[in-house]
């Protein structure tokens, strides 16, 4: 067809979109957090091909840095090309076969999501439930494993909907006695909360880039330990998700470098720089920074008459659920903070809707000046009501 035969171009009014102008928000909600300036700088670097020797070298460095952040030697430790929910789905798609019994700890929104995803892959899902904001005791986990003898126990280490941290010490020993894989959600803990995957015996873990790692969303860490890889290799059925099949993706990130899909080049640049910042600061110093700033926030909230939903011993330093005081319009406070201070905090999810604010101090945003500004803005917002 020649140019003169083309049909007329329609809807030219779509060209009137203004130049992109993004407000300078301080993201103190449950995620995403503000990306570190060095991460944004890396994101804008020129592209190379996904099989270029320079990119393959970057892949090696990224895996080494990610193993450090998670404190694991797992060979199959990779960034999944997708948001945290993609790594969440990959963790289940690769370790579940139809009919497998999966016990899932449900004490918040993301425990519910694990149940939903596991069921879609044909698992026989058994729910272990607690009130939102509570955690599971070793005795409760031991009893559930003895009763159900599951193939997988799925727990949320850092429940983003409640701000609760699930203790993991000793859980792997219970799982091994039952012949069970231990799978954890570390989306809101990796890079901000102590995590020792190998020492704690975790078999499968996933996370996100946009929380304590302070990288934009769009790439997500996943790791499978030897027992999980063995189960993957012994599957009687194909992994039912082609894009997230680690028996194939693992060959691209392994020594074979076999093409699977075009990796998001610039997101990998950003992710590597985010992990480099973790290593540069040092895990212990990073964990200590998150804890100190969280304690400053909790003390300031108490002075304003605002309590926290989760008991102190199980409270995440990266995500605080602050109880909305009686008589206060929580949504109006959040709107005031956004419109007057460019600060974002979030409302509660599910059972905690209308009851709490979710306040994140994650990665680059876990800084004393952010806490001071937020508390001053909250004080003003409360006084206006």
Give domain limits for the chain: 26-33+283-384, 37-280
- Per-residue confidence (pLDDT) for residue 14, from 0 to 100: 64
How deeply is 180 buried, as exposed, middle or buried, from its count of CB atoms within 10 A (0-12, 13-18, 19+)?
buried
**Mean pLDDT taken over the chain:** 96
Mean pLDDT of 143-170: 98
Poorest-pLDDT segment among 216-230, 246-260, 312-326: 246-260
- 135 and 165 Cβ atoms separated by less than 8 Å: yes
**37-280 CATH pick, 3.40.640.10, 3.30.1330.40, 3.20.20.100, 3.40.50.2300:** 3.40.640.10
CB atoms within 10 A of CB 284: 9
Name residue 126's beta-bridge partners. Answer: 103
> Residue 244 above 70 pLDDT?
yes
User: What is the CATH class of 26-33+283-384?
Assistant: alpha beta
Indicate the pTM of the whole model. Answer: 0.95
Element (H, E) at 346: strand 346-347
| Euclidean distance between CA atoms 151 and 183, whole angstroms | 10
- Per-residue confidence (pLDDT) for residue 120, from 0 to 100: 97
> Residue 12 above 80 pLDDT?
no
Higher pLDDT, residue 6 or 137: 137
CB atoms within 10 A of CB 104: 28
- Per-residue confidence (pLDDT) for residue 15, from 0 to 100: 64
């Amino acid at each position: 067809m020649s140019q003169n035969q083309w049909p007329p171009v329609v809807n030219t009014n779509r060209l009137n979109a203004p130049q992109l102008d993004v407000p300078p928000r301080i993201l103190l909600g449950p995620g995403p957090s503000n990306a570190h300036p060095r991460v944004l700088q890396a994101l804008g670097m020129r592209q190379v091909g996904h099989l270029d020797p320079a990119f393959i070298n970057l892949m090696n460095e990224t895996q080494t840095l990610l193993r450090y952040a998670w404190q694991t030697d797992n060979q199959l430790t990779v960034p999944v090309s997708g948001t945290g929910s993609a790594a969440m789905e990959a963790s289940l798609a690769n370790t579940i076969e139809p009919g497998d019994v999966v016990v899932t700890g449900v004490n918040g929104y993301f425990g519910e999501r694990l149940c939903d995803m596991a069921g879609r892959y044909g698992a026989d899902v058994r729910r272990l439930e607690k009130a939102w904001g509570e955690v599971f005791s070793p005795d409760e986990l031991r009893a559930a494993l003895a009763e159900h003898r599951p193939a997988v126990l799925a727990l949320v280490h850092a429940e983003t909907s409640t701000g609760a941290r699930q203790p993991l010490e000793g859980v792997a020993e219970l799982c091994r006695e039952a012949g069970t894989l231990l799978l954890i959600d570390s989306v809101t803990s990796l890079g901000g909360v102590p995590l020792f995957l190998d020492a704690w015996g975790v078999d499968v873990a996933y996370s996100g880039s946009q929380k304590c790692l302070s990288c934009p969303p769009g790439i997500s860490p996943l790791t499978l330990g030897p027992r999980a890889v063995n189960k993957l290799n012994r599957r009687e059925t194909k992994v039912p998700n082609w894009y997230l099949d680690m028996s194939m993706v693992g060959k691209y990130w392994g020594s074979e470098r076999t093409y699977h899909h075009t990796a998001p080049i610039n997101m990998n640049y950003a992710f590597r720089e985010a992990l480099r910042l973790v290593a540069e600061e040092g895990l212990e110093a990073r964990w200590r920074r998150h804890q100190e700033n969280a304690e400053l926030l909790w003390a300031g909230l108490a002075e304003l008459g605002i309590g926290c939903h989760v008991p102190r011993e199980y409270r995440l330093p990266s995500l605080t659920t602050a109880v909305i005081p009686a008589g206060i319009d929580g949504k109006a406070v959040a709107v005031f903070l956004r419109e007057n201070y460019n600060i974002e905090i979030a409302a509660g999810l599910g059972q905690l809707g209308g009851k709490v604010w979710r306040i994140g101090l994650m990665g680059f945003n876990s800084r004393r000046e952010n806490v001071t500004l937020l508390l001053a803005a909250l004080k003003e917002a409360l006084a206006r009501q």
